[in-house]
């Protein structure tokens, strides 16, 4: 067994699970902000119910974002101590900023938001959700700064065999950063929008109660998803230029790549410096999915006079497309991350020098243990999400007035609970 | 500069032990066999603070990575089993508390409660062993890497793990006497009283084991300060007992909170100027300065993060303020 391979597998697994959840988090929180703002501005009860229902799903989904995120954060130290030692001066900075500036406040705000219904004034309660959303975007920004540095190290100089920060601004103007950020954020919006549309479509198709409510969220979700897929495509194609520029070896052989490989061979010794083709196959599928989802625009005109609901089959289509963005998310990341192989930091630090010198048995135990743990939690979480989505908006626990006895929780509770 | 960041790291980790500590303590108390409504009431007493508590750990590790990257790599990888256990515990508690009330059925809820108990146990033991590992020194080789993980399995590490566990349970019980309605709080007080005694004994036992451990004696750079802080810890626990007896749960909670923060201070002060003392190669030991990131990184982090610190702490304080007082019929129930 090979410690390096196991460490890479572990990173790939946790990162994938993490991203499946955080993309939904990022997408849904944006839509929630809109819905709660509408509630506060108009005072219309329907917006409150929408906020509670989708907020409930958002909060359930959030749990695994945190759980897997914490594992991601620790993994750098546990499995990649060579990365901390060599690049910590530069790569650690955006991560530290992310935790302090974004996560710390995000979680504080979210806790207050969940328990603040019926307790805080409406404006203050809404402000908390804005806080959650802004910090969520901030975290996406800083993590992409960190990731982009691995893709294309800039703003550093190597002294005594360790990278030191020389120019922080270069990290923020990294050519690998901005288009990727736009792509990730719009992909998250697409995922959130499509999730909302698909759950609404399920209810409308089943003719459950709350027709008007789910009609509204179907519209919001579909329009968001359609707008977002266009952005995803735009930013996606816009990435080829800058990424191909800084990583000539990523998208297959070309003269530039050959020159670079010759240079690396001279400096780091002979080796296989081209990424496995697997990553580009994934990229192709992702782009295919991207084009397919572009067809969502064809459904938008059907919103007129509710044809989309009356015809029924568009509802089925929406439900069937739901897995696609998730598959694309993973494929996209695999393309980006495996595509920089064999480097942790492109052209600077090879993976085998970054991995922690620990025994393969320990690494294997950790890989199996955490994969089982997070995998089980992920499946449980999705089951709970599906149940709550199917239960409908009659009485979500989130925002339930304290005086109202919960339907799912037979009293007698003690007087205080 | 390094000292300021070291202090900040200590502040955030100690903050995590204090705040996360009562989460885990309450979690462990779920095993007590109280009826379902009481267990739910206990979880909702943590309620709005829960998410803001564990994020202190996330921030501490962020600072560790940004400001002390070398320490991050060696400490975490060098204490792998303990860190991994603590991490698994943190995850179980996170998921357990938040998802426990999402299924309606009794049996599912009971199962999630077990998850919370196991998670709290792992987290408390794991962090205790990590702290003990620092205090007893690690086999840091000349090449800068920690060799193996067997160095963690010592009587001192076991004693410290158990002591932190006992501290956490006592802290959680004290927290509940402060947060739950007066009737419930009165019911819990005798239990908290007993748990505080257990914690005092456990801490004392760990201290005695430390005095007999060659490794701890060699690694300690300032043994006198270490002994003094350990005595302070015991004093804090005794003070908590007295305060509980006098029906001053606020004071008692402040005392147990101090008791959970003190181990971090103790490790920092006792090892100073080192953070990682090598048991095999004295020249390989890492001082705080060795372990810190270079000047430009620390300055950058200072410019960006420190002005935000008042805001970070301010919003947490705001959360405590808004949801202060005992839980009552008007408190939202969500966990
Ligand atoms: C584009 C989005 C994105 C990406 C690529 C990542 N994350 Fe993330 N992460 C989020 C967006 C996000 C989020 C949406 O902001 C979350 C979801 C729940 C939360 O608290 O924030 C989150 C959660 C989250 C948490 C938990 C915070 C808490 O306790 O509240 C940690 C520690 C991390 N992440 C760390 C990482 C690391 C180390 C990553 C990469 C190596 C990473 N995340 C990739
Ligand atoms: C944006 C933040 C991210 C950062 C900073 C990051 C960082 C890293 C690091 C340090 C490694 C280990 C070194 C290596 O093998 O190259 C890695 C590997 C990997 N990551 Fe990420 N990652 C991020 C996001 C993601 C996401 C969201 C996915 C989701 C699918 C992902 C998929 C992978 C895969 C598949 C590998 C293994 C690649 C290989 O070993 O060839 N990454 N990443
Ligand atoms: C027309 C469609 C699309 C194109 C042209 C496109 C293009 C790309 C390219 C070139 C990359 C690799 C960038 C790198 O290696 O650094 C990438 C990565 C990625 N893609 Fe796409 N993509 C498309 C659709 C999608 C869709 C539908 C999703 C998800 C909903 C998605 C999510 C991602 C993610 C998360 C990454 C990794 C992060 C990043 O590089 O920013 N993509 N995409």
pLDDT higher than 50, residue B31: yes
Which residues from A are below 8 Å from B133, CB to CB? none
B80–A contact, CB cutoff 8 A: yes
Nearest chain A residue to B83 by CA: give it.
Answer: A78
- Residue A229 CA to ligand 3 centre (angstroms): 11
Q: Given an 8 Å threshold on Cβ–Cβ distance, is A96 in contact with B62?
A: yes
**Where residue A409 falls among pLDDT bands split at 50, 70, 90?**
low
Pocket test for ligand 1, best of A21, A98, A103 (most atoms within 8 A of CB): A103
**Where residue A277 falls among pLDDT bands split at 50, 70, 90?**
confident
Q: Is residue A147 lining ligand 2, measured as CB closer than 6 Å?
A: yes
Q: Is residue A143 lining ligand 1, measured as CB closer than 6 Å?
A: yes
| pLDDT at site A414 | 44
* Axis crossing angle, helix B50-67 with helix A104-116, rounded to the nearest 10: 180
| Least distant ligand from the CA of A150 | 2
Query: Parallel, antiparallel, or unpaired: how do β-strands A156-159 and A162-165 relate?
Result: antiparallel
pLDDT (tens digit per residue) in A93-151: 999 999 988 999 999 999 999 999 988 999 999 999 999 999 999 999 999 999 999 99
Which residues from B are below 8 Å from A366, CB to CB? 80, 84
| pLDDT at site B270 | 95
On whether the CB atoms of residues B23 and B48 are closer than 8 A, the answer is no
pTM for the full model? 0.89
List the single residue in B47, B75, B80 with the smallest CB-CB distance to A115: B47
pLDDT higher than 80, residue B329: no
Q: Give chain B as a 3 state SS string.
A: CHHHHHHHHHHHHHHHHHHHHHHHHHHHHHHHCCCHHHHHHHHHHHHHHHHHHHHHHHHHHHHHHHHCHHHHHHHHHHCHHHHHHHHHHHHHHHHHHHHCCCCCCHHHHHHHHHHHHHHHHHHHHHHHHHHHHHHCCECECCCCCECCCHHHCCHHHHHHHHHHHHHHHHHHHHHHHHHCCHHHHHHHHHHHHHHHHHHHHHHHHHHHHHHHCHHHHHHCCCHHHHHHHHHHHHHHHHHHHHHHHCCCHHHHHHHHHHHHHHHHHHHHHHHCCEEECECCCHHHCEEHHHHCCCHHHHHHHHHHHHHHHHHHHHHHHHHHHHCCCCCCCCCCCCC
Residue with the smallest CA separation from ligand 2 atom 42 is A15
pLDDT higher than 90, residue B281: no
Pocket test for ligand 3, best of A145, A332, A341 (most atoms within 8 A of CB): A332
Q: Is residue A233 lining ligand 3, measured as CB closer than 6 Å?
A: yes
List the single residue in A79, A84, A366 with the smallest CB-CB distance to B65: A84
* Axis crossing angle, helix B2-29 with helix B295-305, rounded to the nearest 10: 60
pLDDT higher than 60, residue B328: yes
pLDDT (tens digit per residue) in A279-307: 888 999 999 999 999 999 999 999 999 99
Average pLDDT over residues B249-270: 96
- The full set of domain ranges for chain A reads 3-391
Q: Is residue A240 lining ligand 3, measured as CB closer than 6 Å?
A: yes
B111–A contact, CB cutoff 8 A: no
B307–A contact, CB cutoff 8 A: no
Q: What is the DSSP letter of A394?
A: S
Give the whole-number percent of chain B exceeding pLDDT 90: 78
Q: Is residue A24 lining ligand 3, measured as CB closer than 6 Å?
A: no
Average pLDDT over residues B279-295: 89
| pLDDT at site B333 | 84
Q: What is the DSSP letter of A347?
A: T
**Angle CA B176–B179–B185, to nearest 5:** 60
Contacts of B138 (CB under 8 A, 6+ apart): B74, B78, B79, B146, B151, B276, B277, B278, B279
Q: Given an 8 Å threshold on Cβ–Cβ distance, is A107 in contact with B319?
A: no
| pLDDT at site A43 | 93
Nearest chain B residue to A114 by CA: give it.
Answer: B48
- Distance from the Cα of A402 to chain B's closest Cα (Å) equals 5
**Where residue A407 falls among pLDDT bands split at 50, 70, 90?**
low
Q: Given an 8 Å threshold on Cβ–Cβ distance, is A67 in contact with B94?
A: yes
**Where residue A160 falls among pLDDT bands split at 50, 70, 90?**
confident
Bridge partners, residue A343, by sequence: A350
pLDDT higher than 50, residue B138: yes
List the single residue in B184, B296, B309 with the smallest CB-CB distance to A165: B296
Pocket test for ligand 1, best of B12, B52, B58 (most atoms within 8 A of CB): B58
Q: Is residue A180 lining ligand 2, measured as CB closer than 6 Å?
A: no
| Least distant ligand from the CA of A282 | 3
pLDDT (tens digit per residue) in A325-366: 999 999 999 999 999 988 999 999 999 899 998 899 999 999
- Residue A66 CA to ligand 1 centre (angstroms): 7
pLDDT (tens digit per residue) in B66-99: 999 999 998 999 999 999 999 999 999 999 999 9
pLDDT higher than 90, residue A401: no
- For residue B291 the two structure tokens come to 């372990």
B61–A contact, CB cutoff 8 A: yes
When the pLDDT of each residue in chain A is averaged and rounded to a whole number, the result is: 92
Tokens 């540095």 — which residue?
A149
Average pLDDT over residues A67-82: 94
Bridge partners, residue B138, by sequence: B278
On whether the CB atoms of residues B62 and A96 are closer than 8 A, the answer is yes
**Where residue A408 falls among pLDDT bands split at 50, 70, 90?**
low
**Where residue A405 falls among pLDDT bands split at 50, 70, 90?**
low
Q: Where are the beta strands (DSSP E) in A128-276?
A: 156-159, 162-165
List the single residue in B84, B99, B149 with the smallest CB-CB distance to A63: B99
Cα–Cα distance for residue pair A368/A360, rounded to 1 Å? 12
**Where residue A255 falls among pLDDT bands split at 50, 70, 90?**
confident
Q: Is residue B300 lining ligand 1, measured as CB closer than 6 Å?
A: no
| Least distant ligand from the CA of A234 | 3
């Amino acid at each position: 067994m090979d410690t390096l391979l196991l460490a890479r597998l572990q990173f790939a697994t946790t990162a994938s699970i993490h991203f499946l959840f955080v993309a939904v988090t990022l997408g849904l929180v944006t839509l929630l902000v809109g819905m709660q703002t509408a509630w506060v501005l108009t005072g219309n009860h329907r917006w409150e119910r929408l906020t509670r229902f989708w907020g409930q799903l958002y909060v359930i989904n959030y749990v695994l974002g945190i759980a897997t995120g914490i594992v991601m954060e620790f993994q750098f130290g546990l499995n990649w101590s060579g990365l901390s030692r060599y690049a910590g001066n530069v790569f650690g900075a955006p991560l530290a900023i992310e935790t302090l500036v974004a996560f710390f406040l995000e979680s504080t705000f979210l806790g207050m938001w969940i328990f603040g219904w019926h307790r805080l004034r409406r404006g203050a309660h809404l402000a908390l959700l804005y806080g959650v959303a802004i910090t969520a975007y901030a975290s996406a920004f800083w993590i992409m700064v960190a990731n982009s540095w691995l893709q294309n190290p800039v703003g550093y100089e190597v002294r005594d065999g360790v990278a030191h920060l020389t120019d922080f601004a270069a990290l923020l103007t990294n050519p690998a950063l901005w288009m990727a950020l736009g792509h990730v954020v719009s992909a998250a919006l697409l995922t959130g929008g499509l999730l909302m549309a698909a759950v609404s479509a399920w209810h409308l198709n089943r003719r459950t109660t709350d027709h008007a409510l789910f009609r509204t969220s179907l519209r919001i979700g579909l329009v968001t998803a359609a707008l977002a897929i266009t952005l995803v495509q735009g930013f996606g194609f816009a990435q080829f230029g800058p990424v191909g520029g800084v990583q000539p070896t990523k998208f297959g052989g070309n003269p530039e790549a050959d020159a670079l490989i010759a240079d690396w061979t001279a400096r780091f010794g002979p080796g296989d410096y081209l990424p496995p083709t697997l990553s580009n196959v994934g990229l192709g599928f992702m782009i295919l999915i991207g084009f397919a989802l572009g067809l969502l625009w064809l459904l938008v005109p059907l919103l007129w006079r509710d044809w989309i609901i009356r015809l029924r089959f568009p509802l089925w289509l929406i439900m069937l497309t739901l897995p696609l963005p998730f598959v694309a998310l993973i494929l996209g990341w695999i393309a980006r991350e495996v595509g920089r192989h064999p480097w942790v930091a492109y052209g600077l630090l090879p993976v085998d020098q970054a991995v922690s010198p620990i025994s393969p048995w320990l690494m294997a135990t950790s890989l199996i243990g955490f994969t089982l743990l997070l995998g089980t939690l992920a499946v449980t979480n999705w089951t709970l999400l599906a149940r709550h989505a199917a239960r409908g908006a009659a009485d979500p626990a989130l925002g339930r007035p304290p005086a109202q006895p919960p339907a799912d929780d037979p009293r007698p509770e003690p007087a205080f609970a | 500069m390094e000292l300021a960041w070291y202090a900040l790291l200590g502040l955030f980790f100690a903050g995590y032990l204090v705040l996360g500590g009562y989460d885990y303590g309450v979690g462990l108390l779920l095993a007590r066999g109280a009826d379902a409504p009481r267990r739910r009431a206990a979880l909702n007493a943590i309620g709005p603070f829960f998410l803001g508590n564990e994020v202190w750990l996330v921030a501490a590790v962020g600072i560790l990575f940004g400001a002390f990257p070398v320490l991050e790599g060696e400490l975490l990888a060098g204490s792998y089993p303990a860190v991994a256990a603590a991490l698994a515990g943190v995850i179980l508690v996170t998921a357990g508390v938040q998802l426990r009330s999402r299924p309606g059925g009794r049996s599912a809820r009971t199962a999630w409660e077990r998850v919370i108990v196991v998670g709290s146990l792992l987290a408390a033991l794991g962090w205790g062993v990590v702290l003990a590992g620092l205090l007893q020194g690690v086999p840091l080789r000349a090449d800068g890497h920690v060799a193996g993980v067997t160095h963690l399995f010592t009587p001192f590490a076991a004693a410290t793990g158990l002591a932190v566990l006992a501290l956490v349970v006592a802290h959680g019980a004290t927290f509940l006497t402060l947060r739950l309605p007066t009737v419930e709080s009165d019911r819990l007080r005798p239990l908290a009283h007993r748990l505080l005694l257990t914690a005092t004994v456990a801490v004392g036992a760990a201290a005695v084991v430390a005095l007999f451990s060659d490794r701890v004696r060699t690694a300690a750079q300032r043994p006198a300060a270490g002994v003094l802080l350990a005595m302070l810890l015991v004093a804090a626990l005794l003070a908590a007992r007295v305060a509980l007896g006098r029906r001053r749960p606020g004071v008692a909670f402040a005392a147990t909170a101090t008791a959970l923060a003190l181990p971090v201070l103790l490790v920092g002060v006792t090892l100073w100027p080192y953070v990682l003392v090598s048991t095999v190669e004295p020249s390989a030991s890492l001082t705080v300065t060795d372990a810190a990131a270079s000047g430009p990184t620390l300055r950058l982090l200072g410019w960006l993060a420190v002005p935000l610190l008042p805001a970070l702490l301010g919003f947490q304080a705001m959360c405590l303020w808004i949801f202060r007082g005992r839980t009552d019929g008007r408190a939202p129930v969500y966990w």
